[in-house]
Amino acid sequence: MTIQRGEAPVVAFGGVVKEYGAVRAVDHLDLRFAAGERVALLGRNGAGKSTSIALMLGLEEPTSGTVELFGGPPRRAVEGGRVGAMLQDFTPVSRITVRELVGFVGSAYPAPLPVAEVLDLAGIGHLAGRRVEKLSGGQIQRVCFAVALVGDPDLLILDEPTAALDVQARQEFWTSMRALTDRGKTVLFSTHYLEEADRNADRIVVIDRGRLIADGTGAEIKRTVGTGLVAFDAVDGTPPDGVGTLPGVLSAEVADGRVRLRTTDPDATTVALVGLLTPRGLEVTQAGLEEAFLTLTSEPSGPAVPSGPSDPSDPSEPSATAVAAAKGTLR
């Protein structure tokens, strides 16, 4: 969704850095989210997701840079009831029922939704009279979701909302989420899984070590990292000349006696490869989304070791290439 002229972005990070002593949790992040977007914040453990969320909610101050919600300081938006949040480390309050807790939180907002409607949306209508401290981890997570929803906020920020949910609960959760975004809400959620991000967000922001490494639709990110793999027997320890520049190829490596080409277009790569040489033991597969994500966020010396063509302009340096490509081709 585009930002209308004169309309402040829902979330705006300008060159945000957050340091905890020697640890730089967020490293020069620039982000803008518009109204109605459904954004996944994707990254590995320690990538800086929760820290970014804490900054958005005004729970932490940036070391440098600016954070704005709806064109003003985060605290103003939060106190004005425009933001609902579900944090990673919620401790349930004792001796209070689910209905009481959600109603109590709702009463702090200017125009809360009816509690019964919220409990239904969160799939916990049947738990309304249960005491919060008696609930299971997954049930508590749904209560947290109800708490985030009850104020009828414009922006929902959810830190790993499905972490404790079983498969069915996950599906129900995302169904409720879609119902909400259909009402024009902006939703930002964090996750470790590209698959989950791809299925439930229309924009994916990938961060690694506090830095933005990709920003685009799921399809754009998958295209950038290349989910295809073309493998064949290696003759020696280096990929044959020319394979790194075949159509679609992002990286070429030799491991365990096999040449492996990671590619955005396995069909085109295979056809061109057969025109170049006679590959033995040819195998063409789709790499999983999660593998593609790991490639994107791997260390510079990560799983796919660069080799292949000597042309320095060829983008065959795998993780760095995926990153550069992501930066170049995505938003």
Ligand X SMILES: Nc1ncnc2c1ncn2[C@@H]1O[C@H](COP(=O)(O)OP(=O)(O)OP(=O)(O)O)[C@@H](O)[C@H]1O
Dist. CA 293–CA 33, nearest whole Å: 22
At 52, list the tokens: 């970014």
* Residue whose C-alpha is closest to residue 291's, from 283, 302, 275, 277: 302
Dist. CA 235–CA 273, nearest whole Å: 15
Q: Applying CB under 6 A, does 290 fall inside the site for ligand X?
A: no
Please say which residue, 156 or 234, places its beta carbon nearer to Mg ion: 156
Q: What is the CA radius of gyration of the chain?
A: 23
* Residue whose C-alpha is closest to residue 226's, from 282, 296, 284: 296
Which of 10, 25, 47, 50 binds Mg ion (CB under 5 A)? It is 50
Q: Applying CB under 6 A, does 48 fall inside the site for ligand X?
A: yes
Q: Applying CB under 6 A, does 23 fall inside the site for ligand X?
A: yes
Q: Applying CB under 6 A, does 206 fall inside the site for ligand X?
A: no
- Three-point CA angle 286, 212, 56, nearest 5°: 125
Please say which residue, 61 or 233, places its beta carbon nearer to ligand X: 61
Please say which residue, 210 or 306, places its beta carbon nearer to ligand X: 210
Please say which residue, 151 or 161, places its beta carbon nearer to Mg ion: 161
Query: Are 262 and 229 within 8 A, CB to CB?
Result: yes
The alpha helices in 72-136, defined as continuous H runs, are 74-79, 98-106, 115-121
Which of 49, 222, 223, 260 binds ligand X (CB under 6 A)? It is 49
Which of 29, 42, 50, 157 binds ligand X (CB under 6 A)? It is 50
Q: Applying CB under 6 A, does 47 fall inside the site for ligand X?
A: yes
Q: Applying CB under 6 A, does 45 fall inside the site for ligand X?
A: yes
Over the window 71 to 90, marking each residue x when it contacts Mg ion by CB under 5 A and - when it does not, the resulting string is -----------------x--
Q: Which residues contact 24 (CB under 8 A, 6 or more apart)?
A: 17, 18, 209, 210
Name the strand (E) or helix (H) holding 180.
Answer: helix 167-182
Which of 43, 216, 266, 318 binds ligand X (CB under 6 A)? It is 43
Dist. CA 230–CA 259, nearest whole Å: 8
* Residue 269 CA, distance from chain mean position: 29
Please say which residue, 43 or 74, places its beta carbon nearer to Mg ion: 43
Strand stretches in 123-257, DSSP E: 155-158, 186-191, 203-208, 211-216, 228-233, 249-255
Which of 51, 139, 264, 297 binds ligand X (CB under 6 A)? It is 51
Using the structure block, give the residue that is written with the tokens 């959620």. 189
326 binds, among Mg ion, ligand X, none (CB under 5 to 8 A by kind): none
Please say which residue, 42 or 101, places its beta carbon nearer to ligand X: 42
Q: Applying CB under 6 A, does 141 fall inside the site for ligand X?
A: no
Among the residue ranges 44-52, 106-114, 162-170, 238-246, the one whose residues contact Mg ion (CB under 5 A)? 44-52
Residues that bind Mg ion (CB under 5 A): 49-50, 88
Footprint of ligand X on this chain (CB under 6 A)? 20, 23, 25, 43, 45-51, 88, 192
